[in-house]
Homo-oligomer: A and B are copies of this chain.
């Protein structure tokens, strides 16, 4: 039996949209946001709660989005929501910080998704503009 960890939900996605979303951090974690307003971008980790079941967490390979042909890739080699730990990751633009609410751009999460972490985006380590990807990613 492998080890396990306990995740605590620290907030929730309040609204989603093509453009802006609101990330509501629960009041008891609000003080942990101090200083986030100084960053232009953040990394949001959230929980794919709709995929948090045995079936979806057992999926090891998928056909990537927008691919219909016979291409299967590992879930750790794509951003599939079906994965052993249904964690979603988005780099977002911080549009506004008001108390416990972050208004962000670029969050690809459903309304109601639990938030599990917020990290400031630090280009020194996080930005690799010349990273390359396989050909199927750009299709």
CB within 8 Å for A25 and B128 given contacts A38-B133, A89-B119: no
* Majority-rule SS of A interface residues: mixed
Residue A96, interface by CB 8 Å: no
The size bracket of the interface on A is: 35 or more
Contact of A4 among B6, B40, B41, B134 (CB under 8 A): B6
Q: Which of A4, A36, A75 has the most CB of B within 10 A?
A: A75
**Cα–Cα, bound, A4→B78 (Å):** 25
Which residue of B is nearest A79, CB measured? B119
Which residue of B is nearest A118, CB measured? B76
Asked if A7 and B7 sit within 8 Å, CB to CB, the answer is yes
